[in-house]
A and B are shown apart, each in its own frame.
Chain A
Amino acid sequence: MKPALLVAAGGFAGAVCRHAVALALPGGFPWGTLAANVAGSFALGVVIYETRLVGHLGREARLVVATGFLSSFTTYSTFAVQTASLSPTLAAANVGANYALGFAAVLAGRSVVRSLAGRSAETEGPE
């Protein structure tokens, strides 16, 4: 399939899911963006480290899942606009939460891939 079609399909689904998450979570604080950014960072961590350490995911899968869905599901502009609209204390909390949890989620994704890769290496033996 053409790369643009894969990115477009993923982009549609990612944006719609982000909107759904934002509607489902309570207002007052941008919980929806935080949830999408953290969950998406974890999933992209899994995809990127899988590509680096294992390599079973094909290019088409990465285009639809990573470039399309996850990059569209997570967002920086909405995070920035929401941060700018909050009181200084809540703005700092929002930045701290997105950054700390986002980076931690990437590392958690890395751990998942490493443990699965290690386990499959044990069962398959050295190549």
Chain B
Amino acid sequence: MNAFVLVGVGGVLGALSRYAVGLWLPGERWDTLVVNVLGSVALGVLTVGFADGAALLALFGTGFCGAFTTFSSFAVETVLLFEDGERRLAAGNAVVNLVGALVGVTVGGWAAALLG
């Protein structure tokens, strides 16, 4: 199947899943962190465990994980925290998203290597 279709279908599933997480989690501050870390773990698993599955990576990697996690909301939320005088929270948000995602990618990769 065309890679663009796979990416698009994955994007639909990822965006809807992110929307669902936002509806379930009270408080707007942490839903972005949760999807970013979870999606990074999943992408870490995919890139190590299914490195040669082009269609699978397009659907679940570029499509689902790419759409499930988000940078724009993270950037806007961080700026809004800073604006509201919550400078420590803003800096913390910036650091925790990065560390959480990088640790998530690493842990996901390890898990895939162990199980694969």
Measured CB to CB, the residues of A under 8 A from B are: 3-4, 7-8, 10-16, 18-20, 22, 36-37, 40-41, 43-45, 48, 66-68, 70-81, 83-84, 95, 98-99, 102-103, 105-107, 110
CB-defined contacts of A67 to chain B, threshold 8 Å: 15, 18-19, 22
CB distance from B91 to the nearest CB of A (A): 11
CB distance from A43 to the nearest CB of B (A): 7
Contact yes or no, B14 A72, CB < 8 A: yes
From B15, B40, B67, B79, contact of A45 by CB (8 A): B79
CB-defined contacts of A73 to chain B, threshold 8 Å: 72
CB-defined contacts of A19 to chain B, threshold 8 Å: 3-4, 7, 58, 62
From B15, B97, B102, contact of A72 by CB (8 A): B15
Contact A80:B104 (CB < 8 A) given known A72-B66, A75-B70: yes
CB-defined contacts of B43 to chain A, threshold 8 Å: 77-78, 80-81
Tally of A-B Cβ pairs under 8 angstroms: 163
- Asked if B76 is at the interface (CB within 8 A of a chain A CB), the reply is yes
From B8, B69, B72, B98, contact of A70 by CB (8 A): B72
Contact yes or no, A41 B71, CB < 8 A: yes
CB distance from A10 to the nearest CB of B (A): 7
CB-defined contacts of A36 to chain B, threshold 8 Å: 71
- Asked if B55 is at the interface (CB within 8 A of a chain A CB), the reply is no
CB-defined contacts of B79 to chain A, threshold 8 Å: 45, 103, 106-107, 110
